[in-house]
Structure 1
Amino acid sequence: MNSLRRMLDILDLFKPDQPVIDVDAVCTQLGYTSASAYRYIRELSDVGLLVRLPRGYTLGPRIIELDRQMSEYDPLLASSKGIADDLVAQTGLDVLVSELYGSTVINVLQKVGADTDPLNFGRGRPMALFRSATSRVILAYLLPRQLRRIYDANASQPDLQRLGGTWKDFSKAMLQVRKQGFCVSVGELDPGKTGMAAPIFDEKQRILGSITLVGPNQRFEAFNPSFLSGLVTGAARQITTSIAAND
């Protein structure tokens, strides 16, 4: 398992400023030996997750195949698309559906509203864990031991410190989100924009992700806050129910 994890960690090296990697990059950035780096790259290439170019390796066509499979058949996405479309029609706001894996929250679906100014964090982008309603509403529903692990790993981060300088303060802030049932952030990721998110659960009522309304502050202010919170929490419940029914 450790060997598989080490091999898959190579995929994390791909970033906007590093679209191509080579063995030296793997060795330098991950601390692997040359023999291990060559072996992992060969195995990833054999299954289509990497492809060789003159300057090194980039993500392979298998990624596109998996993306298509997820886009068309993933239970969360299948349960969310129609509901997200309805939210856009009712509000004119953007809608994001996001999913948790490990300690990362990533947007897996984006439906664009009336605002022509694109979001800084659309589909396929990891979300800041402590600076967005999208992520905070997920954190609020983690098991205490999971939340404590994330806190301990990020305790020195200014974004986390803003939510609570101590574990007690931070856990209290997360409990408040949980009691409210939704989370709001204003201008934390996109200046002049507000986000309101509600939690989505799997068939065993474990936190799976979130659905978020996002748009200009002025558009948010045109609605009664309780109307919007009712929409987004209702949508989250519908998605949760649909996922459970399709289990």
Structure 2
Amino acid sequence: MNSLSRMLEVLNLFKPEQPVIDIEVICSQLGYTSASAYRYVKELSNAGLLVRLPRGYALGPRIIELDRHMTQFDPLLAASRDIVGDLIAQTHLELLISELYDSTVINILQRSGADEQALNFGRGRPMDLFRSATAKVILAYLLPRQLKRLFDNAAPGDLERIGLTWKDFSKAMLRIRKDGYCISEGELDPGKSGIAAPIFDEKGRILGSITLAGNSERFNAFNREFLSTLMIDAARKITSRIAG
């Protein structure tokens, strides 16, 4: 790990149960020397990514600035704004736009439908690649070597929903690619179901997914072919716009 990666690793220490960190936390949890920890927090603070508080360091205002910029100008969001509105108007289901980040999926957009109770995994909430249609439709389009590595490192509980053997796991991924979409029920939120389709970048690499989700009773009232066609078409339009 190079010096830049080590410095950025400091940002991964922030969690709901740990909103403020100090030099001692950095050294104990990352194994850095005090000199390195002080150097990294100084650089991150100068960049606005950290802010000094009496009890240590919190995330800085530059992150809010970047979040605003992403909300307004992110190419994926810009390519999907009108499509998002049309899908919600047609179905009244909740909609998510999600992106792949390392081995995690992050929801970068959440728009409410008719359900009063929103999804637990909304904007900014990470989810693993083995749960939900949102994540599994991305998982299915990773390169074979990536899939094998994820399979080998997965916990048995993660694989139960897909396939405990590499053969069964591979078949499940192939089925999603053949269908062009993925449906899940209750994998993240009890009583909620969702359908997702993949979004690709200009080189045909998996970039993220678009998802419609909602109360299972409402969701299951829709014809599955109608929903799948709706989502596949929407994802293809977004992909085409991103490719330019």
Q: TM-score, normalised by structure 2?
A: 0.97
Length, aligned pairs only: 244
Q: In structure 2, how many angstroms separate the alpha carbons of the residues matched to 1:69 and 1:149?
A: 34
Match for residue 76 of structure 2?
76
Q: Classify the secondary structure of the residue corresponding to 2:32.
A: coil
The structural deviation recorded for 1:157 is: 4.0
Match for residue 125 of structure 1?
125
Match for residue 22 of structure 2?
22
After superposition, the C-alpha distances for 1:218-242 in whole angstroms (9 at most, x for unaligned) are: 1112211110111111110110011
CA RMSD of aligned residues (A): 1.1
Match for residue 208 of structure 2?
209
After superposition, the C-alpha distances for 1:128-151 in whole angstroms (9 at most, x for unaligned) are: 321111010001011101111222
Amino acid at match of 1:71: T
Q: Classify the secondary structure of the residue corresponding to 1:8.
A: helix
Which residues of 2 match residues 18-167 of structure 1 at below 5 A?
18-154=18-154, 156-167=155-166
Asked if 1:170 is matched to 2:182, the reply is: no
Amino acid at match of 2:168: D
Provide structure 2 residue ranges, at least 5 long, that are not aligned to the other structure: none
Q: In structure 1, how many angstroms separate the alpha carbons of the residues matched to 2:53 and 2:156?
A: 38
Q: In structure 2, how many angstroms separate the alpha carbons of the residues matched to 1:174 and 1:239?
A: 22
Q: In structure 2, how many angstroms separate the alpha carbons of the residues matched to 1:210 and 1:13?
A: 27
Asked if 1:236 is matched to 2:235, the reply is: yes
Identity of aligned residues (%): 70
Amino acid at match of 1:165: L
Q: In structure 2, how many angstroms separate the alpha carbons of the residues matched to 1:49 and 1:160?
A: 37
Q: TM-score, normalised by structure 1?
A: 0.96
Provide structure 1 residue ranges, at least 5 long, that are not aligned to the other structure: none
After superposition, the C-alpha distances for 1:142-168 in whole angstroms (9 at most, x for unaligned) are: 1101111222222x3411243222222
Q: Classify the secondary structure of the residue corresponding to 2:125.
A: coil
Q: Classify the secondary structure of the residue corresponding to 1:162.
A: coil
